[in-house]
Structure 1
Amino acid sequence: MANPLGGLLLRLAALLFFFRSCQAKTVTYDFNVTWVIANPDGLFDRKVVGINGQWPLPTIEVDKGDQLVVNMYNGLGDKSTSIHFHGMFQNGTNNMDGPSMVTQCPIPPGNSFTYNFTVNQNGTYWYHCHTDYCYPDGYRQALIVHDTESYFHDMYDEEFVLTMSDWYHTLVEDIAPHFITLANPTGAEPIPQAFLVNDTMNTSIPVKPGKTYLLRLINVSAFVAQYFYIEDHTFKIVEIDGVYVDAAEADTLYLGVAQRYSILVTMKNSTEKNYPIVTVADSVLLDVIPSDLQLNYTNWLEYNADAAHPQAVMTVDTSSDLVPFDDITLVPHDRMELLPDADLTVELTVMMADLDNGASYAFFNNISYTKPKVPTLYTVMSSGNLSTNAEIYGEFTHSVVLGHNQIVDVVLNNGDTGSHPFHLHGHNFQLLHREPSYGAHFYDYASASTPPLTYDPSDHAAFPPYPARRDTFVAPPHGNFVIRFVADNPGVWFFHCHIDWHLAQGLGMLMIEAPTQMQERMTIPEGAYDTCRAAGVAYEGNAAANTEDFLDLSGQNKQVAWLPAGFTAKGIVAMVFSCVSAFLGMAFISFYGATGIQSKKPEAEGENQEGSAPTDSQRLSL
């Protein structure tokens, strides 16, 4: 017998869905991406990537359920580009995700691309370029999805967005040649010249006594994590990476690159003074701290425009002494339970090492991500019944094929002495375990002399019954973490470190999720293939662009070969300085030989010619 109550509930749900669909709208942005000149720290004019002739870039704002359309024209003239809408699930629209050579071809200068997808999410996100390493040149900004049905919607009076970023005076095109190179065998990341809030400095947020404000915090940096606090104020965390959480009181946050928080801050009932909003760069990430690099910056909650705007008073010696709130302890407001035990466990070990060219690269399980010759999504779509065979996606994309609706654990052991913010496209994931946790012991293993702390599946604390969820999670130095998600979103999804320099070094891999369902449900617009034709990039075939035999990977892009046994980073450094010394020695010989100093023996003239400084080709063989 049919259940009349159940039928009524179904009809009500359908009616509610119809009502929401009628409310949804199409939000369109037209972006002409060009170079502009900016000087946000007041120290140096430089080219940055602007949109419609302006920088900072426009914030994208939509309501939950809206259709978002971004018509992008690449007017840079000298660089290809793309847009990744960070944190958007792109359910059914994987081809709109944006990373070049993963879900699309790079968009060459003079060409356009239309991103079009439905936003069935809520919360705080951002967008940025995802072609090579390009967003350090300023191509990044907030994307906000408003939701009038959030449980805290009536708990605040006004909202503000605060982006945090590191800032370089040098264009990426000028930094890159000196980063992954023989001259930098330790892989030391480029040091920024400043740190910004909302792409500027000395920002005041006007507030009123007794009012409550929602602050949306986003770290859009290329490299450096940030601590955040407000002097003499606490706040309540209500969202992380688009996931609403039960309000949790805190006074200090740590935002790894790409992480987001929304917090509620209630103002004091006084206008006597203004209070510093403090951001502190995580100095542990920096190999060198130049004497002129300021690590902590002050902006203000401005209660009184006429009152003093004091600089923050640091109460700790170093940034690592700050103790932030531990995100793994947050409870999702929807009470989504711990997913069942994993059907598949992906075990990853992070490592940084030199390869045969003497430069430093990054690895998951000894594989440094190397882009294929065909965007991996297009390999899926053109491979027929071979789509479930990971081999066709290339050895150096480190692709893992996931079955539809599989429960997947990622167990990550960090063999590096630096922390890494790892981001999974297309999903948020449950935070099951991290060791060591945020707090006093987070940096205990950040030393080459301290062995890495490897995850032990038989010896760990119980996983939380309602795990926190987010899309970017920080792995501690020489520590580990475990995350879990359900493969319910067919697509090709990048999993990578969001420190842009580390992704350039190869710290990434691909999750090929439900490829059979992708072929059944997805269609690539012809305009996307036109982009490939304009870029001169193949859009059919395996990772080697072979359309005849998908199992023949001859000609695939490969990572640089491994160093011969016995070479170390110290050895490489010694070799570099030996070569430099040799070149200088030859230069001095050449210089003094050219000054006209003559030997007492005439017959020595021929000997000098035979013993002259080596040619360029001889130098290269030293």
Structure 2
Amino acid sequence: ERRKREREMSAVLLLLASLLFQLVAAEVVSCPDQQSYCNCSSTASVCEFILRIEYRHTFTSYKLFGSNNQQSFDGEGYFLNRSGYIPTVQQDGDCNFDDPRTRPFTGSDFTRRGCSVPMTVDGVNYRAIIAINGQIPGPTLVVTSGQTVHIRVVNSLVSQSVSIHWHGLFQKDTPWMDGVGFVSHPPIDPGSSFDYIFTAGQSGTYWYHSHVGSERADGLFGGLVLRDPDTFFEQVVRPQILPEDSSSILVDSPELHTITVIDWMREHPNDMFVKMNDSLFFFPDAPVSTVPDRSNTPHEESDLIDGTGTSAVPYWSGLINGRGRFDSNTLAPLSVFSVESNRYYRFRLVGSNAMLAFNFSIDGHTLRAIASDGSYYQPRDVEYIVIHSGERYDFILNTTNPNRGQTNFWIRAETLVDTSPRQSVLAVLSYTNGNDLDWRNGYSNIPDARPTCTSASPCRVLNCPFQQYPAGSALTCISLMNLSSLFPPPTNKLPKFPPSSSCPDCIHFLNFGFDGPRDDSFINGKSLQLPNTAYATNCAQYTSSKSIINTCDRCTVNTTSGCRCIHVIPIANAATFDPNSDEHESIIMIFSSLNSPDTHPIHLHGHNFQILYTGYGTYDSNGKVTSPSTDLVCDTVGNNICVTPRWANGTPPAGLMARVSNGRVIGSAISKDTVMVPGYGYVVIALQADNPGYWFLHCHIEFHQALGMAAIVQEYDPLQHKAPPPNINNHGSFQWSVEEFKQFQDDGSTCADSIASTGGAPTTGGISLSQTKFGVMIGVIVLLFIVVVVMAIVSCAYFVYRRKVTTRHERFR
């Protein structure tokens, strides 16, 4: 009996020690060169990562050194043939081997010598890229909702600044961690580093990417997954997404089944941007970096199936998880995703597209779409999912009945450009772990198993950028308005429609398009010029001098051109933000594309929003859009520059009002953070202003944004914004600890508090780092004191217990 109780007490002590350890545990996650994922344990309270950004070259192997093999030097060039990787120059180096032409030569031959595997991208594209931890895309970061995330981004580029945006994360109370250069914080200079620290307060599929220039199109992006807590997913989500089969195995391995897709540029994106900005033609049949002549054919803008425009840049190739094929070239390794039979798998699809949308499918399988942009909706079985730039879709794949006994299937992402055959990107779904696949024979053993679509049984396409496919196509569109949220918000969290009449800046009509004689990139005739200092990190400057905030107030759109200015859109500016309130000001935004028939995926930072309504233009009998929606009109200036869009009859259309109930948006409307605006159409979104700060709003097509199709949303008066951490504006590296971050967050200073504490003098924070470190020291002392007290109490209790047991034992004797 005594020994049993002693064991029980020892177990209690071990449990207390374990709980205390978990309370302060932080995991430094290993992210070595070219590892495709970095997974943080769900038991850690803090997840720490290092992302190193550097130039690398395709078809090149580098000698690796340093901690986690995260640095490189001495590149050796390779090319591909049927034997494998072949050195371009015959020499004996660290990553150049004695004549490998006599045998197959694979990636493991490089790793055994401490060298990186050459990135072959599309099999032919030989140029410099921007890599994250030695690869494109960067590693998928996997954390669990509720953890504190600390990511040190090291800029090892020679001459380019960078910033990293955590796409889809709200960054509540941390707007200066949103990662938009010159808006959230100053860009990270070459040779410097920046510590992003935030709380993973959401769950779902997200991603990260550069928000400086056109670096994303050069490879600077990667996946980011915030896992649901296990109990929530198993007990709440799973029964609703797989109600017919609650006992089968559901595999959710984001480190293995996250898919990124991008259209790849044959030239450096900066070259492409300059050509687009200067209205120069692209000549796909001319060699790169040579002057085209009249024997070369200029590229006409790529049109979608419905005739709307989508890209002035010609399609070259595409990549799935960094691999693809150019044109008909079959000699290139593709990405392989492994599954087993008789399972359900959760896949996560990330639209890292630079310019074009893709129609995604997996031969021989139906996709059960369950979530988009981090929000669950009632499951829909479809054959295709259209993925636009910035969007994410989660789907369940059933591997119970592989088609016709096949073991390998094509994963396809086809552009919606009106060409035949379709421009496509390929990867492989393998039931054999890829053991029977060989890229050197072009994967010739994989048959075509596309879904059979007929007029009697048309294939279902989720998220079309147009109202419907042309008649006879055997494809039917499922609009996002046809989806229903799996977890509708409570009534007080549903935005009001219309917003309060006492809030003059709570409804905004915003037209995105290429207007005027030069087809400039505008929102309401204004093209964004970024500020020269970050708004979110300069409390005093942008509250004491309001004219600095929105320079568009001093610009008038004239008859020949729009305005190039700092375009700031205020929302709820006159309201007072109460962080303890259950309801906040309702905001309605109408995104349109009226003057030019171009599609635009629009992303709003700092929020998700409910999709209230989508309106389309007028279509002819062939399914081609011919004119803008009649629901809206736009007052134009000069050469067709749209400056003031509004409802055509002064009131919203009946279809929109059907999605309003008791003065609020219907609860079933799904939530997203990125939405496609159809050419000549519009989308109405609704949200509550619950996140004070400066938030970027922009078209997510890389060059559209870079050309100025963006604005800065100012949510509430800047005095109500969270004060930024000290020293964040200093040139050079910005580094701080999780303890300093938490102490700073506990202080909770607003810009008003920060200015008041300095008598109105310019400042960038509520408390200094010295104060923070002092607070951290006090916190550590208090924590140690608590530990000592707890251990003393436990020890005393154990001592008393032992005395009682001993006394009883002696009496028994």
Instruction: Give how far 1:385 is off.
Output: 5.7
Aligned residues with identical type, % of pairs: 25
Cα deviation per residue 1:83-136 (whole Å; 9 max; x = unaligned)? 001001000110011111111112221222111111101000000000122110
- Within 2, Cα distance between the matches of 1:88 and 1:340? 24
Paired letter, 1:501: F
The change in CA–CA distance for 1:324 and 1:180 in structure 2 (over 3 A counts) is same
Q: Is the 8 A contact 2:204 2:226 kept in 1?
A: yes
C-alpha distance 207-367 of structure 1, shift in aligned 2 (>3 A)? same
Q: Does 1:335 align with 2:494?
A: no
Q: Which residue number in structure 2 is paired with residue 196 of structure 1?
A: 319
CA distance in 2, matches of 1:451, 1:510: 27
Residues 181 and 351 (structure 1 numbering): CA distance in 2 closer, same or farther, change over 3 Å? same
Which residue identity lines up with residue 597 of structure 2 in the other structure? T
Whole-angstrom distance in 2 between the partners of 1:353 and 1:181: 15
Alignment partner for residue 42 of structure 1, among 123, 137, 141? Answer: 123
Distance 1:257 1:312, change over 3 A: farther
Q: Which moved more, 1:458-467 or 1:72-81?
A: 458-467
Residue of structure 2 in register with 1:26 after alignment: 46
CA contact (8 A) 1:36 1:55 kept: no
Alignment of 1:212-291 (within 5 A): 212-270=344-402, 272-273=405-406, 274-283=408-417
- Equivalence for 2:746: none
Matched, 1:417 2:597: yes
Which residue pairs with 1:5 in the alignment? Answer: none
Does 2:618 correspond to 1:459? no
> Within the alignment, does 1:125 sit opposite 2:206 as a pair?
yes
Moved more, 459-468 or 67-76: 459-468
2:513 maps to 351
CA gap of 1:442–1:59, structure 2 versus 1, over 3 A, is farther
Residues 562-585 of structure 1, C-alpha deviations (whole Å, 9 max, x = no match): xxxxxxxxxxxxxxxxxxxxxxxx
| Matched position secondary structure for 1:58 | strand
* Alpha-carbon spacing, 1:517–1:330, altered in 2? closer, same or farther (3 Å): farther
Whether the 8 Å CA contact 2:537–2:724 is kept in 1: the answer is: no
Question: What is the CA deviation profile of residues 421-455 of structure 1, one whole-angstrom value per residue up to 9, with x for unaligned ones?
Answer: 00000000000000239xx97998865x5234444
Partner-residue secondary structure (3-state), 1:108:
coil
- The letter for the 2-side match of 1:333 is L
CA distance in 1, matches of 2:134, 2:337: 26
Alignment of 1:284-323 (within 5 A): 295-304=423-432, 306=436, 308-311=445-448, 313=450, 322-323=475-476
Letter in 2 for 1:340: K
| CA contact 2:146–2:199 (8 Å) conserved in 1 | yes
CA spacing shift, 1:228–1:54, aligned 2, 3 Å: closer
Match of 2:143, as an amino acid?
V
Q: Deviations over 1:25-80 (max 9, x none)?
A: 21111122110112311112221111233444111111111111111121110211
* Residue 524, structure 1, aligned to residue 605, structure 2: no
> Structure 1 234/29 Cα, relative in aligned 2: closer, same or farther at 3 Å?
same
1:488 and 1:421 mapped to 2: Cα distance? Answer: 23
Query: Which residue of structure 1 lines up, in the alignment, with residue 613 of structure 2?
Result: 433
Q: 1:400 aligns with which of 554, 569, 579?
A: 569
1:127-171 deviations in Å (ceiling 9; x for gaps):
000012211000011001111222345861243111111111211
| Counterpart for residue 712 of structure 2 | 510
Contact 2:259 2:320 in 1 (8 A): yes
Give the distance between the partners of 2:729 and 2:424, measured in 1 at CA. 44
Give the match's secondary structure for 2:124. coil
Kept after mapping to 1: 8 A contact 2:551/2:566: no
Task: String of CA shifts for 1:293-329, please: whole Å, max 9, x gaps.
Answer: 9612333332345493124558789996554432232
CA contact (8 A) 1:228 1:252 kept: yes
Secondary structure of the residue aligned to 2:171 is coil
Amino acid of the structure 1 residue aligned with 2:585: Q
1:523-582 Cα offsets, whole Å, 9 max, x none, are 23303333599xxxxxx9xxxxxxx9x9xxxxxxxxxxxxxxxxxxxxxxxxxxxxxxxx
Q: Is the 8 A contact 2:353 2:389 kept in 1?
A: yes
8 Å CA contact 1:453, 1:478 repeated in 2: no
Amino acid at match of 2:607: H
SS in structure 2 of the partner of residue 99 of structure 1:
coil
CA distance in 2, matches of 1:157, 1:237: 15
Amino acid paired to 1:221: N
Q: Tell me the equivalent position of 1:110.
A: 191
What RMSD, in angstroms, separates the aligned Cα atoms of the two structures? 3.5
Of the two, which has the highest radius of gyration? 2
Give runs of aligned pairs for residues 375-386 of structure 1, distance below 5 A: 375-384=534-543
CA contact (8 A) 2:359 2:387 kept: yes
> What CA deviation, in whole Å up to 9, does each residue of 1:155-198 have, x standing for no partner?
61243111111111211222222110143599863223101111
Say if 2:185 and 2:728, in contact at 8 Å, map to a contact too: no
Instruction: Provide the rounded CA distance (Å) in 2 between the counterparts of 1:57 and 1:443.
Output: 45
Unaligned runs of 5+ in 2: 1-19, 25-42, 59-119, 239-245, 283-299, 302-310, 325-333, 438-444, 455-460, 501-505, 555-564, 578-583, 633-646, 660-665, 735-750, 752-759, 763-813
Change (3 A) 1:123 1:500: same
TM-score where L is the length of structure 2: 0.57
Name the residue aligned to 1:99. Answer: 180
Q: Cα 1:314–1:370, aligned 2, differ >3 Å: closer, same or farther?
A: farther
Matched letter for residue 283 of structure 1: V
Say which is worse superposed, 225-234 or 145-154, in terms of deviation: 145-154
1:204 Cα deviation after fit:
3.0
Secondary structure of the 1:408 match is strand
For residue 375 of structure 1, report the CA deviation from its aligned partner.
2.0
Contact 2:507 2:589 in 1 (8 A): yes
Higher relative contact order (CA 8 A, sep 6+): 1
Q: Distance in 1 between matches of 2:723 and 2:672?
A: 26
Corresponding letter in the other structure for 1:61:
V
Mapped contact 1:252–1:323 kept (Cα < 8 A): no
Q: Report how far residue 406 of structure 1 moved.
A: 1.6
Compute the displacement of 1:394 (Å).
Answer: 6.2
Instruction: Determine the structure 2 residue equivalent to 1:157.
Output: 251
For 1:531 and 1:44, the matched residues in 2 are separated by: 34
SS, match of residue 174 in structure 1: helix
Question: What is the number of equivalent residue pairs in this alignment?
Answer: 507
Q: Please, what TM-score do these two structures have when normalized by structure 1? A: 0.74
Which residue pairs with 1:610 in the alignment?
none
**Structure 1 Cα separation of the partners of residues 653 and 137 of structure 2:** 49
Among candidates 323, 326, 345, match of residue 479 of structure 2 = 326
